[in-house]
Amino acid sequence: MNRLSPLQLFLAAAEAGSFSAAARRLDLGPVQASATIARLERELGVRLFERSTRRLRLTEAGERWLPHARQLVAAWEDGRAALSEGADRPLSGHLRVSLPSDIGRQHLWRWIEEFAATESPVDLRLELRLSDRLADLVQEPVDYSVRYGEPPDSSLIALPLAPDNRRVLCASPAYVARRGCPQTPAELRDHECLRFVLGESLHGRWRFETAQGGASAVEVTGNRVADDGGLVREWALAGLGIAYKSRLDVATDLAAGRLVALLPDWIGEPAPLHWMSVGRHRLTPALRRLAASIQARCAALAAGRQQR
């Protein structure tokens, strides 16, 4: 048992909802695991778990302690990695990343796997969580997040992956044939627009610019709203309406003619893509190489040429 074993066991039990499952994961006996948690509770002076014959759940104190325990374990692991990290050290360990749903499913997971294969990792454990919901890198069990937009928190370190990416208005050829092309942003009010919702925020006010410095914003409506960017793209491909998507999300569809870009004289909203981390210490040379690899692939995708 090392110094972090009580914290690691606490985190495993909180995630598994079971002392026995956590003990098996860490190769401990159930009696030893129970005694370790009891000792941790005595040291902290609080009960961390409510125990019953049927379930195990965190107490209010346990919920408050959870993010701190994660930070302590992560800091220890990062410190050990920093001591042994060399410029040529491959990507290894437990890599937990939150990805946007659409580009994550289409491209990012594959790019990460291909990079890992070239690095020849011995013990890389990859955990990807695909969701458009903004991951809290302190509260949630993820180490990194790839997200569109500027970092919402000044404590986050952001590596640019596609700093010049923007949204593009697009629809399927079938929709255009049926409903026609809008000629100005204002005409979008007469079209079926596929809207995206993030948490409680509905992205229903679409903004555009012109090369001459003009600007326009229009409140759009439609019968379909989704909290998954991939579904919005699928609706557009099915001819169900007009989407306002990151160009990276629809680059392959535009190149193949499955979608067509609308309002070519208007420039879409900025949608920069970043690799985000809490603290610069997490951005090891291997992580920076991974981010640089993804940045190159994003540039190729935006330019209409895919790297394979």
Q: What is the pLDDT, as a whole number, of residue 303?
A: 87
Q: What is the pLDDT, as a whole number, of residue 308?
A: 43
48, 59 Cβ separation under 8 angstroms = yes
Q: What is the pLDDT, as a whole number, of residue 86?
A: 53
pTM of the predicted model, to two decimals?
A: 0.71
Q: What is the pLDDT, as a whole number, of residue 3?
A: 65
* Residue at 144: amino acid letter: Y
274: closest CA among 179, 164, 167, 198?
A: 164
List the domains of the chain with CATH numbers. 5-71 (1.10.10.10), 85-164+272-302 (3.40.190.10), 167-268 (3.40.190.290)
pLDDT in tens, 69-89: 888 887 776 666 666 555 566
Q: What is the maximum span of the chain, computed from C-alpha positions, in angstroms?
A: 72
- Residue ranges in the chain whose pLDDT is less than 50: 1, 307-308
- CA dist 269 and 164 (Å) reads 10
**C-alpha distance from residue 140 to each of 18, 64, 251 (Å):** 19, 13, 31
265: closest CA among 189, 217, 208?
A: 208
Q: What is the pLDDT, as a whole number, of residue 139?
A: 57
pLDDT in tens, 99-129: 999 999 999 999 999 998 887 656 788 889 9
